[in-house]
Structure 1
Amino acid sequence: MRLTKICAALTVGLGAVALSGCSTLEEITGGAESVDYKSTVRGEPLSVPPDLTQAQADAHYKAPEGTSFSSYMQSREAQQQAVASGSNILPQTDGIEVKRDGQLRWLVVDMPAEKIFPEVIEFWGTQGFTIRSQDPRAGVIQTDWAENRAKIPEGWIRSALGAIVDQVFDSGERERFTTRMERVDGKTEIYISHQHMEETPTPDGTTFKWVYGKEDPNLNAAMLARLMVYLGTDQERAQSKVTQAEQTERGTAVETVTTSSEAFLRLNEPFDRAWRRVGVAIDSAGFALEDRDRSSGEYFIRYLDSDTGEKIEQANIFTRMFGGRNTAEAQAFRIRVVAQGNGSMVTVLDKDGQTISTDTARRIITVLSNHIGK
């Protein structure tokens, strides 16, 4: 068993109580510090492209790696100084609403996407994340993997040794978040989704590997609420809007067809709702979204087939700090959403726009089905 696991077990044995995840509205709106992220990947200083019409079309598939606490602390100190001087305080705004449809939540902001995009990049920096990719054309921002340090048990050993022990303790969990923006009727819709990974021992017990865990809709809601506050909504109003959104819930019936000759999803939703759900499913599944065309109902993605793609493993603390990068290349596909009667159909197309039902297409359909809220 690695030192991180031994230390964590020792601390728990000495009576430390692990902090729970966001579950109350107080926590969701930032009143309780049960979310305290620290990026585990070195990143360049946050930057915003001057021309929001230019894209950084690139596929990104990396496991958690590296450690850079100093860059995060520098960013946090700068932010605290700005807040103290009053230069970083946004004005109060009423133009933010919370929407919910089943497990899916999103914000509708009465501001243009050009103004919100850089604000969202800065927001993730204040939350302890580095930015992995930003694509203004697709309206997508993805953070790098980060560890929620609030999940690490407190104890007298950690308190006594401080920063030294912080380099050794590890929660064995990572998250990265994807923010996507859509222009709708002169306003901007903002969706936040995340991917979760857990470090688990291999069957032979000789090493550890990272495996994907289940997405927590409450964590997405927590970050949406924090973004609301960052954009200018006070905590009490954010809490009220989240409460109102919780009172509306609706599920989606999904029919999945994956045969040797067909691969599609059938949703009991009109096009607008299906388009929204498929977009969030693409984010949650970790596909690289390069572009989208709502008029044709197409999302342009890159997908790294799990049968031939990377293995996500970290054997020890050295790979966590200095791990290599996988260079497998993701392939270009399109995901098309079309209205069909009272519902919608979702199919997979190749890069040239031809409908396909290959093994890879069937896997894409299955992954989307697993990430569309029931």
Structure 2
Amino acid sequence: MVSLSGCGMISSVIEQDKLDYRGAKKAASLDVPPDLTQLERDNRYSIPETRGVASASTYQQPKGTTAMPAPNGQAVAVAGGEGIKVERSGNQRWLVVNQTPEQLWPQLKQFWADSGFTVISESATTGTMETDWAENRSKIPQDIIRQSIGKVFDSLYSTGERDKFRTRLERTPNGTEIYISHRGAEEVLVGSQKDSTTWTVRPNDPGLEAQFLSRLLAKLSGIADVKPAEAAVAAALPVPQNAKLLGDTVEVAEGFDRAWRRVGLALDRVGFTVEDRDRVQGVYFVRYVDPDLAEKDGFLSKLFSFGASSDKAKEAQRYRVTVKSEAGATVSKVAVQSNDGKAETSPTGAKILKLLSDELK
């Protein structure tokens, strides 16, 4: 029996997937939120004709070719994925798809369900959906004992890590840009005797974001093998640093359109809750809890929960993150304001700017 289980272990190690997530809840229904179609009629999300998207001309490249790089980023196509490309700026990657957010919404919910996650919150107003926490079971060591009795006592095994993901959709003149951001938590020993545990923040993992972006690219392209998608994501080369902190602003070496989208992804990564946004005025209305304070709660369900109703979330301060750029300019400035629109000069405001600066590099 030991011999047989050993053979099974070797086969499992060789063939097992790097991602094997299991959530605790049944996947939600795939209904499109009734207010999603309002995005198209709301001029806050319409892109002015005078701005456009710098890389729009690359979207129609022949299938299976590498597109010409866009300013401050690079677009790469994947064979079989006509109308879908990968772009990258710094360590941020995203998909460019020639479908509307309304068409993509149910496909994204099905993608996360197929990946072992439950979508626990979604907002058509901000164009975001967020998964519940889930564990990557492929990280559990596949030793002989685990292979022999693991299926019977599976709940006894745990990695001590949990992940959740937020997907952001941004409408463009030719379709939609899709961003995936990761948040992580890990269980650590606490106390003088190390006799109890608590959940704490784990650093954002761009590698996990890239893996799920590859899988989503393969799904939307209709290809069974994820390797070409992984190659396309890897081929999107990074560009030099294009953001720097200058006093009470972050200067981004990009025009408004690209800076606006990348600031939205940066807010997701850092752990903000975006309650609303006004693209015409260049304002994100956000709620923020210092992660160091969130750690003290010790409850996984309260960490970085989008639209959370917990007491800690209610106590979170509200801010405005502004993105400003002159018409036709190639430089944008990001600033933090208080909830009433005044310049935020507190230490928290400075910390928010530093976090955004680090993410936008």
Same fold (TM over 0.5): yes
Q: Counterpart of 1:228?
A: 217
Distance change in 2, residues 1:314/1:336 (3 Å): closer
Q: Counterpart of 2:277?
A: 292
1:208-238 CA-partner distances (Å, limit 9, x unpaired): 2222222222211111121122224314587
Q: Tell me which amino acid in the other structure corresponds to 1:230.
A: K
Shift of 1:47: 4.4
SS of residue in 2 equivalent to 1:357: coil
Distance change in 2, residues 1:360/1:161 (3 Å): same
Query: Of the candidates 189, 205, 222, which is equivalent to residue 216 of structure 1?
Result: 205
With 245-254 and 204-213 compared, the bigger mean Cα shift is at 245-254
Q: Counterpart of 2:178?
A: 190
Q: Tell me which amino acid in the other structure corresponds to 2:19.
A: V
- Structure 1 portions without partners, runs of 5+: 1-15, 21-26, 56-91, 316-324
Q: Counterpart of 1:145?
A: 133
Are positions 1:207 and 2:196 aligned together?
yes
Q: Distance in 2 between matches of 1:247 and 1:367?
A: 24
Q: Distance in 2 between matches of 1:122 and 1:188?
A: 18
Shift of 1:310: 5.7
Q: Distance in 2 between matches of 1:124 and 1:159?
A: 27
| Contact 1:267–1:344 under 8 Å retained in 2 | yes
| Contact 1:96–1:228 under 8 Å retained in 2 | yes
Shift of 1:181: 0.4
Q: Counterpart of 1:277?
A: 262
Query: Of the candidates 248, 273, 291, which is equivalent to residue 263 of structure 1?
Result: 248
Q: Counterpart of 1:133?
A: 121
| Contact 1:349–1:356 under 8 Å retained in 2 | yes
Q: Counterpart of 1:71?
A: none
Q: Tell me which amino acid in the other structure corresponds to 2:250.
A: L
Q: Counterpart of 1:305?
A: 290
Q: Distance in 2 between matches of 1:240 and 1:139?
A: 24
Distance change in 2, residues 1:166/1:240 (3 Å): closer
1:331-371 CA-partner distances (Å, limit 9, x unpaired): 32211011276422111122232222122222222222232
Distance change in 2, residues 1:119/1:267 (3 Å): same
Are positions 1:175 and 2:163 aligned together?
yes
SS of residue in 2 equivalent to 1:167: helix
Q: Distance in 2 between matches of 1:302 and 1:47?
A: 28
Are positions 1:348 and 2:320 aligned together?
no
Distance change in 2, residues 1:144/1:253 (3 Å): same
TM-score, with length taken from structure 1 = 0.71
Q: Distance in 2 between matches of 1:133 and 1:121?
A: 11
Shift of 1:145: 0.9
1:247-291 CA-partner distances (Å, limit 9, x unpaired): 52203243335xxxx633222333233223211111111211222
Q: Tell me which amino acid in the other structure corresponds to 1:336.
A: T
Distance change in 2, residues 1:157/1:314 (3 Å): farther
Q: Tell me which amino acid in the other structure corresponds to 1:106.
A: W
| Contact 1:140–1:289 under 8 Å retained in 2 | no
Q: Distance in 2 between matches of 1:115 and 1:269?
A: 29
Q: Distance in 1 between matches of 2:137 and 2:233?
A: 30
With 244-253 and 102-111 compared, the bigger mean Cα shift is at 244-253
Shift of 1:130: 0.9
Q: Which has the higher contact order (CA 8 A, sep 6+)?
A: 1
Q: Counterpart of 1:50?
A: 34
Q: Distance in 2 between matches of 1:155 and 1:54?
A: 52
Q: Distance in 1 between matches of 2:165 and 2:226?
A: 24
Q: Distance in 2 between matches of 1:246 and 1:138?
A: 30
CA RMSD in angstroms, aligned pairs only: 3.0
Q: Distance in 2 between matches of 1:165 and 1:331?
A: 44
| Contact 1:94–1:233 under 8 Å retained in 2 | no
Q: Tell me which amino acid in the other structure corresponds to 2:209.
A: N
Are positions 1:335 and 2:324 aligned together?
no
Distance change in 2, residues 1:219/1:197 (3 Å): same
Distance change in 2, residues 1:247/1:32 (3 Å): farther
**Aligned length in residues:** 298
Q: Distance in 2 between matches of 1:115 and 1:310?
A: 38
With 95-104 and 240-249 compared, the bigger mean Cα shift is at 240-249
Q: Tell me which amino acid in the other structure corresponds to 1:290.
A: E
Q: Tell me which amino acid in the other structure corresponds to 2:129.
A: I
| Contact 1:98–1:245 under 8 Å retained in 2 | no
4+ residue stretches of structure 1 with deviation over 6 A?
none
| Contact 1:252–1:269 under 8 Å retained in 2 | no
Q: Distance in 1 between matches of 2:152 and 2:16?
A: 26
- Structure 2 portions without partners, runs of 5+: 1-8, 40-79, 301-308
Query: Of the candidates 66, 88, 91, which is equivalent to residue 100 of structure 1?
Result: 88
Q: Distance in 2 between matches of 1:122 and 1:109?
A: 17
Work out the percentage of aligned pairs sharing the same amino acid. 37
Distance change in 2, residues 1:94/1:143 (3 Å): same
